[in-house]
Amino acid sequence: MNLRSLLAMVPVERLRNPPPVVAVLRFAGVIGNLGPLRRGLSLAGAADQIETAFKMRRLGAVALAINSPGGSPVQAALIARRIRALAEEKDIPVFAFAEDVAASGGYWLACAGDEIYAQESSIVGSIGVVTQGFGFAGLMKRLGIERRLHTAGESKAILDPFLTEKPEDVERLKEIQEDIHGAFKELVRERRAGKLKAPEDELFSGAFWTGRKALEAGLIDGIGDMRGVLREKLGDNVKLRLVAGPRPWLRRRLGLAMPGDGTGRGLSDPGDWAAGLLAAVEERLWWGRFGL
C-alpha cells in the first residue's frame, strides 16, 4: 500500500473539525444532607464535577440531568449559581433535562439551564417552600418521658419536635418561608423571562405538573430526551461525556457514607443507625409527595 492510499484512509475532516463535546452533570436525589449516613446533593459534593465539566476540551455545551424532588433551597441556589457563573465566564450554553421529577429545589437547579426540557410524564414545578418534621409531644407524655431542655434566648427551642407546637413559632416559620419563596419566584422570573405563560398565582402556588402541562405553562422549553435534543442542537456527531465524581468504596458497596460528624463513631453505633432510619423516612416523604 502506497503513501497516497494510507493518507486516503486518514479521517482528515474529522481531525480538522472534531465533533463537539457536551459535559453531562447528573443531579439525582434530595438536595441537602439528610443525616450522618445519607448525603444529599450539595455544592461541596458537586463543585469538583462542575469545574471539570466546564474545563473539557471542545466543549460545546453542558447538560444537566436532573432527578430531584427538592430539598435545601440554600444548596440548590449555591449549585445553580456556580453553574451560571461558569457558563457566563466560559460563554457555554447550558441545557437542563428533567427525568422523573424536577420539582421544588429540583426545578431551582433546572433554572440554571438556558433551556429546560422534560419528558411528557416528568413532574415539574412545585415552586414553593415546605418544612416537614415530626411531633413527639403526645408520645412522650404517654410513655412518661420527661423532656429536659434548657436555653438562653426565648426563641432558641422554636418548633422543638418534643414540645407542643406554638402558634407564634409557626408564624415565625411562615415569615422565613415567605422570604425563601420570594427568592425562588425572583429566580424563576429572571431565568424564564418572556417565557412564562400561566398566571403567577398559579405558577408560584407550589403546584406541580406533567411535562406536557409544564410546557404549556412556560416552565420548560420543550419535550425531549437529552441525546435527541443535543443532536438536534449540536449535530449528529456530538459526544456526551458524563462527569462522575469519586465515590468511596464503602458507599459503592453499601450505598452509604461514613458519618462525618468528627466523633469517630462507626456504622455500628445505634445513634447513627437511628439517624439513618429517620433520614430514610424523610427522603421517602420527599419522593412520595410526587407519587414516586
Percentage of the chain modeled with pLDDT above 70: 62
Selecting among 55, 141, 156, 197, the annotated active-site residue is 156
> Residue 270 carries which side chain, given as an amino acid letter?
P
Q: Which of the four pLDDT bands, split at 50, 70 and 90, describes residue 261? A: very low
Q: Are 109 and 101 in contact (CB under 8 A)?
A: no
pLDDT, tens digit, 9 for 90 and up, residues 42-97:
999 999 999 999 999 999 999 999 999 999 999 999 999 999 999 999 999 999 99
94: helix, strand or coil: strand
Q: Is the CA virtual torsion 24, 29, 33, 39 positive or negative?
A: negative
| pLDDT surpasses 60 at 250 | no
Selecting among 42, 72, 104, 122, the annotated active-site residue is 104
pLDDT at position 238? 95
| pLDDT surpasses 70 at 98 | yes
DSSP-derived secondary structure letter, 34: -
| Prediction pTM value | 0.76
| CA-closest candidate to residue 80, choices 182, 183, 173 | 183
pLDDT, tens digit, 9 for 90 and up, residues 172-226:
767 777 888 889 999 999 999 999 999 999 999 999 999 999 999 999 999 999 9
Other beta carbons less than 10 A from residue 226's beta carbon: 18
Q: Are 42 and 81 in contact (CB under 8 A)?
A: no
| CA-closest candidate to residue 267, choices 38, 39, 40, 37 | 37
Average pLDDT over residues 137-159: 64
Report the CATH fold assignment for 19-133+182-288: 2-enoyl-CoA Hydratase; Chain A, domain 1 (3.90.226)
Average pLDDT over residues 254-264: 41
- Write phi, then psi, for 184 (nearest 5 degrees): -65, -45
Stronger pLDDT, 134 or 91, i.e. the higher one: 91
> Cell 482528515, residue?
12
| Known catalytic membership, residue 104 | yes
Q: How far apart are CA 189 and CA 9, in angstroms?
A: 53
